[in-house]
Structure 1
Amino acid sequence: MTDRVVRVLETFDADRTVQTAAQIGRRARLPSSTAQRLVADLVEAGLLERDDENRVRLGLRLWELALRGSLALRLRQVALPHMERVQARIREHTQLAVLEQEEALFLERLSHPQAGANITRVAGRLPLHASSAGLVLLAHAPEEVRERVLARPLRALSPETVTDAAQIRSALVRIRREGHVIAPGSIEQVSTGVAVPVRDGHGGPVIAALAVVLPREAPTGGAIEELRLASHGIEAALAASRP
């Protein structure tokens, strides 16, 4: 039953926020009667909601439960003031990502109205090998996670996405040594991603990546410095917020 509920909820994404029960059943690979029953049960529990046309969307109850005691929410709240300072200086895109099920999951994104291209969305995911934040997370992930990710066929999101596992391994060594990554054209050829790790307090494990997305030819030195200052600020705030 749990697997079926998860499959129903996973049919929703940023581009598919409203569906019929029949569409949910097809996308979740469930018999129509099973999908109808599950949708009705989830609506009754408040995890899904119906609109006036009998279409279904994610419910506020699901959002409420997700936020209770959420480590991701705590991290986002601590990081946001520091992200805002980066954004005030960089004036492009500033974003925060965590490792989740071997992908980069983005918890927050701040964007200037005139900023360049960026496909990242809050609560959206990107492959670890194809984004600056993802590469930082992959570099500091457990070895078994790195090997599983790099053993798969790696999808190119742009003509410049690095998909060769040996090249990526070399890049991950540099990221751990230098403490940052610069990834030009990895997702969109007109942009460069820059990212640094965020640790759980000073000296703790890496729990997130803080990144900016810049126009392709923009200098990156100032962005790296701003990100490092923000990362240190987040780490200090996390350490101070512990009971």
Structure 2
Amino acid sequence: MSSSVLDKVMTILHAFEVDDHDLTLAELVRRTGLHKATAHRLCGEMVQAHLLDRTPGGYRLSGGLFELGMRASVERGLLEIAMPFLQDLYERTRETVHLGVLDGHEVMYVAKIGGHRQASAPSRTGGRMPLHCTGIGKALLAHTDPETRREVLSAPLVRRTPRTIIAPGLLSQQLDAARESGVTFEYEESAPGIACVAAPILDVGDNSLIAAISATGPVHRYRPEQHVAAVRAAAGGIAATLHRRRALQH
């Protein structure tokens, strides 16, 4: 497959947005700017490759993409080890629990566990959010390399709510405090009505950043300060188990 064809395939895949169930060929043509005949031919080939499914309304993303995504070695191995700890944390807090990794200047959510009364957080598995306004993002940002931290703090910090911290100096103070305490907090900074406590998962050997976890709940009843120990313990348990697993493999 030539790079130009690959570019067109990626353009079609990225035309699908989070809330789309399926898209007509006409809508795909409109969003991608591809010629109708080209889009039709590529969509047919993508159906055969299990990248798209054909539906009565047009096309939708195929389960084959999910299967490929689950083969991503870092996230898959991390998820296998982390899931029991995430489930324990959910049982302790009965609030929405997240596992996220640093991807560029964003947090990518690898897992999300929530019960019937879960907070209406804007996160979703496989989704992304800015680092500066989420508890889990700030946990990652506090422990990432200095260059990434500088890049994020020097770029415009988007205000998502009235409580989003957009002053680099104030955010930097929070990140320094987080390195000392081992946890970060969010109070209605990514979305109104939610609060969060998060902790990084750090490599036991060199203290490098692996991922972060959080527990999120609605501000009218959830007090994140009460769950600091549980979140920190879960993060430490994941880190220790990862370290043991790697030691056995060498």
TM-score between both structures, scaled by the size of structure 2: 0.88
Q: How many pairs were matched up?
A: 242
Q: Name whichever of 56-65 and 25-34 sits farther off.
A: 25-34
**Aligned partners of 2:130 and 2:229: how far apart in 1?**
25
Q: Which amino acid aligns with 1:125?
A: R
Q: Which runs of 5+ in 1 are unaligned?
A: none
Residues 1:12 and 2:16 aligned together: yes
Aligned partner of 1:25 among 24, 29, 35: 29
Alignment-derived partner of residue 225 in structure 2? 221
CA RMSD of aligned residues (A): 2.0
C-alpha contact (below 8 Å) 2:213/2:235 kept by paired residues: yes
Alignment-derived partner of residue 158 in structure 1? 161
Q: Which amino acid aligns with 2:77?
A: R
C-alpha contact (below 8 Å) 1:22/1:35 kept by paired residues: no
Deviation (angstroms), 1:178? 1.7
Deviation (angstroms), 1:224? 1.0
| Change in 2 beyond 3 A, CA 1:121/1:77 | same
Q: How does 1:155-194 map to 2 (within 5 A)?
A: 155-194=158-197
Aligned partner of 2:145 among 142, 145, 149: 142
| Change in 2 beyond 3 A, CA 1:80/1:9 | same
**Aligned partners of 1:192 and 1:21: how far apart in 2?**
41
**Aligned partners of 2:27 and 2:151: how far apart in 1?**
32
Q: Which amino acid aligns with 1:108?
A: A
**Aligned partners of 1:232 and 1:77: how far apart in 2?**
16
What per-residue deviation string (whole Å, max 9, x for no partner) do you get for residues 126-184 of structure 1? 11111001111122222332233233322222110111222222222222222111111
What per-residue deviation string (whole Å, max 9, x for no partner) do you get for residues 68-95 of structure 1? 2521111111111101111111111111
Q: Name whichever of 110-119 and 224-233 sits farther off.
A: 110-119
C-alpha contact (below 8 Å) 2:183/2:228 kept by paired residues: yes
C-alpha contact (below 8 Å) 1:97/1:105 kept by paired residues: yes
Q: How does 1:42-121 map to 2 (within 5 A)?
A: 42-51=46-55, 53=56, 55-121=58-124
| Change in 2 beyond 3 A, CA 1:112/1:54 | closer
**Aligned partners of 1:183 and 1:57: how far apart in 2?**
35
Describe the SS at the equivalent of 1:129.
Answer: coil
Alignment-derived partner of residue 126 in structure 1? 129
TM-score between both structures, scaled by the size of structure 1: 0.90
Describe the SS at the equivalent of 1:183.
Answer: strand
**Aligned partners of 1:69 and 1:115: how far apart in 2?**
28
Give aligned-pair identity as a percent: 30
| Change in 2 beyond 3 A, CA 1:109/1:32 | same
Deviation (angstroms), 1:48? 1.1
**Aligned partners of 1:127 and 1:142: how far apart in 2?**
17
Q: Which amino acid aligns with 1:142?
A: D
Q: Which runs of 5+ in 2 are unaligned?
A: none
Residues 1:209 and 2:212 aligned together: yes
C-alpha contact (below 8 Å) 1:92/1:115 kept by paired residues: yes
